[in-house]
Amino acid sequence: MATSRPAPQEILLPVKPGYIALTLAAALLLNLLPWSGYGLWIKPDFVALVVLYWCIEQPRKMGFIGAWLVGLFMDVADGTLFGQHALAYTILAYAGIVLHRRVRMFAITPQALHVIPLFLMNDLIIVSVRMLGGADFPGWHYFIGSFVAGALWPPLAALLKIPLRPKPDPFHV
């Protein structure tokens, strides 16, 4: 039964913390775009996506503190109660770090099936904190974004790896 062989691993350049910070800032920027209407319905949480990606891919470089700080920024940007995104992203980072060995055994597309439940959990935490704070249930379409985030997982992985590919040696014959 050799149905699931470990995915072939590429040899990539080491990830610099600055690169991680840059991608997180870019994700924050995507979240800050003026989404409205149906765009708001299907909008994935880009920050959660990137946080989880780095937690699975580089668990020793992307840690809890980073996820927590990005969560605080998200709270300020959304004007919501302090700490709800921080809490959700911390738990997401924990899930990513605990599961990273297993998830990385799979090819990139089955990985998406692993991460969708994690994004759903992330949304669920935010919804429950909001509802404890007295808000109404926003409707089931709130969770569409998690599935969109899962669909975006393979393109994101491909995109984030581009700068990490070693440059071809010009003197190589």
Partner 1 sequence: MEYQAPPFFKTGPTPLARLLILSALSLALLISDARFNYLAPLRQVAAVILYPLQRIALAPASIARRVGDFFVTHSSLRTQNDRLERENFENAGMLQELKGLRAENERLRALLGARKRFGVDATAAEVVYAARDPFSRRIVIDKGMRDEVKAGQPVVDENGLLGQVTRVYPWLAEVTLVTDKSHFVPVQNLRNGLRAVLSGTGSDGVLELRFVPVNADHANGDELVTSGIDGVYPPGLPVARISQVERSATRLFARITCTPLAGVSNHTQVLLLSAQRDLPPRPAEQAKPRVKGKARKR
Coil/strand/helix, residue 63: coil
Q: Are 90 and 71 in contact (CB under 8 A)?
A: yes
Stretch that binds partner 1, among 11-19, 102-110, 132-140, 151-159 (CB under 8 A): 132-140
Cα 143 from Cα 145, distance rounded (Å): 5
Residues 143-172, one symbol each (x = binds partner 1 by CB under 8 A, - = not), give ------------------------------
Compute the CA torsion angle 129, 133, 138, 142 (nearest 10 deg).
Answer: -20
Of residues 56-95, those binding partner 1 (CB under 8 A): 63-65, 68, 71-73, 76-84, 86-87, 90-91, 93-94
Q: How many Cβ atoms from other residues are within 10 Å of residue 67's Cβ?
A: 28
Q: Which is nearer to partner 1, 81 or 113 (CB)?
A: 81
Of residues 92-131, those binding partner 1 (CB under 8 A): 93-94, 97-98, 129-130
Q: Is the dihedral of CA 3, 115, 50, 109 positive or negative?
A: positive
Cα 76 from Cα 133, distance rounded (Å): 16
Q: How far is the CB of 8 from partner 1 (least distance, A)?
A: 27
> For binding to partner 1 (CB under 8 A), which residues are involved?
25, 28-36, 40-41, 43, 63-65, 68, 71-73, 76-84, 86-87, 90-91, 93-94, 97-98, 129-130, 133-136, 138-139, 142
